[in-house]
Structure 1
Amino acid sequence: MAIKVLHSVPDFPPVENAQPDGLLALGGQLSSDWLLKAYRQGIFPWFNEGDPVLWWSPNPRMVLFPDKLKVSKSMGQLLARDAFRVTMNQGFSEVIAACAEVPRQGQPGTWITHDMRGAYIRLNQLGHAHSVEVWNAQNELAGGLYGVAIGKVFFGESMFTRESNASKFGFIRLVQWLRKLGFELIDCQMETTHLASLGAESIAREHFVTLLQRWTAVPSLPAKSWKMG
Structure 2
Amino acid sequence: MRDFTLTPEILLNAYASGIFPMAESRDDPDLFWVDPRERGIIPIGGFHMSRSLRRQITRMPHEVRFDTAFADVVDACADRPETWINDLIFDLYTDLFAAGFAHSVEVYDANGKLFGGVYGVALGRAFFGESMFSRQTGGSKIALAYLMDRLERAGYDLFDTQFLTDHLATLGGIEIPRADYKARLADALEDVADFHGVDTPTPQALVQRMTQTS
TM above 0.5, yes or no, is yes
* Alignment CA distance shift 1:28-1:62 (3 Å): farther
Query: 1:30, 1:157 → 2: CA distance?
Result: 18
Q: State the Cα distance separating 1:216 from its structure 2 match.
A: 1.4
User: Which structure 2 residue ranges, 5 or more long, are not aligned?
Assistant: 202-214
Q: What is the one-letter code of the residue matched to 2:129?
A: G
| 1:206–1:73 Cα change, 3 Å | same
Which of 153, 156, 168 aligns to 2:126? It is 153
Q: How does 1:29-40 map to 2 (within 5 A)?
A: 29-40=5-16
- 1:188 counterpart SS class: strand
Give the match for residue 162 of structure 1.
135
Q: Which amino acid aligns with 2:125?
A: K
**CA-CA distance at 1:81 after TM superposition:** 3.3
Deviation (angstroms), 1:29 = 4.0
* Matching residue of 2:56: 78
For 1:206, which of 161, 166, 179 is the aligned residue? 179
SS of corresponding position for 1:68: coil
Q: What letter is aligned with 2:48?
A: K
- 1:10 is aligned to none
Q: Is the 8 A contact 1:64 1:199 kept in 2?
A: yes
Paired residue for 1:43? 19
Residue 45 of structure 2 aligns to a residue whose secondary structure is helix
- Identity fraction in percent: 34
Verify the 8 A CA contact 2:29 2:86 in the aligned structure 1.
Answer: no
Amino acid aligned to 1:191: L
Given candidates 91, 96, 111, the residue that maps to 2:69 is 91
CA distance, structure 2, for counterparts of residue 89 and residue 143 of structure 1: 13
Distance 1:163 1:93 in 2: 19
User: Deviation at 1:82?
Assistant: 5.5
Question: What residue identity is the alignment partner of 1:187?
Answer: D
Q: Which runs of 5+ in 1 are unaligned?
A: 1-26
1:79 deviates by 2.2
Per-residue CA deviation, residues 163-209 of structure 1 (Å, 9 max, x unaligned), is: 10011111011101111112111100012010000001000010000
Q: How many Å apart are 1:226 and its aligned residue?
A: 7.5
RMSD: 1.9
Separation in structure 1 between the aligned mates of residue 198 and residue 73 of structure 2, nearest angstrom: 16
Match of 1:137 among 75, 96, 110: 110
Contact between 1:70 and 1:197, CA under 8 Å: does it hold in 2?
Answer: yes
Q: 1:114 aligns with which of 83, 87, 91?
A: 87
How big is the shift at 1:30? 3.3
TM-score (norm. length: structure 1)? 0.80
**More off after superposition, 78-87 vs 163-172:** 78-87
Contact 1:145 1:171 in 2 (8 A): yes
SS in 1 for 2:57: helix
1:103-134 CA-to-partner distances (Å, cap 9, x unmatched) read 25xx2xx3111111010000000000001101
Output the CA distance in 2 between the equivalents of 1:147 and 1:205: 20
Structure having the larger proportion of residues in helix: 2
Counterpart amino acid of residue 74 in structure 2: I
Aligned length: 197
**Bigger relative contact order (CA 8 A; separation at least 6):** 2
CA distance in 2, matches of 1:28, 1:227: 37
Structure 1 segment 216-227 matched on structure 2, within 5 A:
216-221=189-194, 225=197
